[in-house]
Amino acid sequence: MLKRRKRELKFVEGRPQESEWKRFIRVFFGRRIVLFGLIVVALYIIVAIFAPWIAPYDYKTISSTILSQPSAEHWLGTDTVGRDVLSRLIFGVRPTLIVGSVTILIAAVAGTILGLLAGYFGGWIQTIIMRFIDALMGFPMILLALLIASLLGGGLKNIVIALGIALIAGFARVMCAQTLTIKENDYIIAGRSLGLTNFRLMWKHIIPNAFPPMIILATMNIGMVILMEAGLSFLGVGIQQPDAAWGSMVSAGYNRLTSNPALSVAPGIAIMLIVFSLNMVGDGLRDALDPRLRGTL
């Protein structure tokens, strides 16, 4: 029995270790809820690309039937000026995904640069940058975005700028913390002693090692950005009529929830589904890239 046990232990010890890539594939794609989220996000992207061919009407086309109920001609009915609700729902995917992705890109790039400089150089540079970040974090994000959007005005571009500025602080703090940890590693100290430039050390060694937490934070914040954009559009400072935006569609139809619920319920469900799916994908990335971050991001 003892010999058999030793043989089993020897077999286990001799088994080749799983590569990081294979572990990522196994963990990330091994959860059905993550696969569901990926499928939903992929479908939204396909709808956004092929919206002109999928939508039965142009989202600005006005018909003579106003506030009609769902029918064979208009599957989700028409709105207060006679536009097809389904067509506006389909075209609304585009600004939603654009705001989510571009906002996160702006916030991640700006936050990475600020956090990297603060964490690497320290001293007065860190003090100035982190006090600026603390000032940004002193405002609730939705309130800060609302203030900036009110100053800049509505529209897709201004909403992206407003939300991007509001989200910089979170990325900067994570990057600063990662940089403070990574720069104390032996290979960074050895690189300095070999005469490597600060730029090379940051670009080649610190950023790649800080990448997993940043990509996880970015993925998990896209859903929040979409919710914030919908909230700003609902309040009248985001993307407004006649452009198709789900937040403004909810705002335009919430007074008619009893008589024509599709006006608000349909875009509300679309928002809920994409936010839920993105959060599931973010959870999957967190567990696959760095299980130690479970429950912290």
Chain segment 199-248, per-residue pLDDT in tens: 888 888 888 888 888 888 898 899 899 988 888 888 888 787 788 888 88
- Say whether the peptide bond before residue 208 is cis (omega within 30 degrees of 0): no
CA nearest to 107, candidates 165, 37, 186: 165
Quote the pLDDT of residue 6. Answer: 46
Do the domain assignments include residue 193? yes
Position with higher pLDDT, 6 vs 153: 153
Give how many domains the chain has, as a whole number.
Answer: 1
Do the domain assignments include residue 128? yes
CB 176 within 8 A of CB 120: no
**% of the chain at pLDDT higher than 70:** 91
Residues sharing a CB contact under 8 Å with residue 164, sequence separation 6 or more, in sequence order = 102, 103, 106, 107, 110
Do the domain assignments include residue 184? yes
Domain that holds residue 128: 30-54+71-293
Residues β-bridged to residue 84: 78
Do the domain assignments include residue 86? yes
CA distances from 186 to 98, 135, 190, 202, 292 (A): 41, 34, 6, 14, 22
Do the domain assignments include residue 17? no
Domain CATH for 224: 1.10.3720.10
Do the domain assignments include residue 49? yes
Do the domain assignments include residue 5? no
What are 281's two structure tokens?
Answer: 């994908």
Quote the pLDDT of residue 9. Answer: 44
Angstrom distance (rounded) from CA 51 to CA 244: 12
Do the domain assignments include residue 10? no
Position with higher pLDDT, 280 vs 70: 280
N-term to C-term CA, the chain: 47
What are 62's two structure tokens?
Answer: 């006005």
Position with higher pLDDT, 14 vs 123: 123
Q: Is the pLDDT of residue 16 over 70?
A: no
Quote the pLDDT of residue 292. Answer: 57
Q: Torsion-angle region of residue 123: left (phi > 0), alpha (psi -120 to 50) or beta?
A: left
Angstrom distance (rounded) from CA 135 to CA 199: 28
Chain segment 124-143, per-residue pLDDT in tens: 999 999 999 988 888 788 88
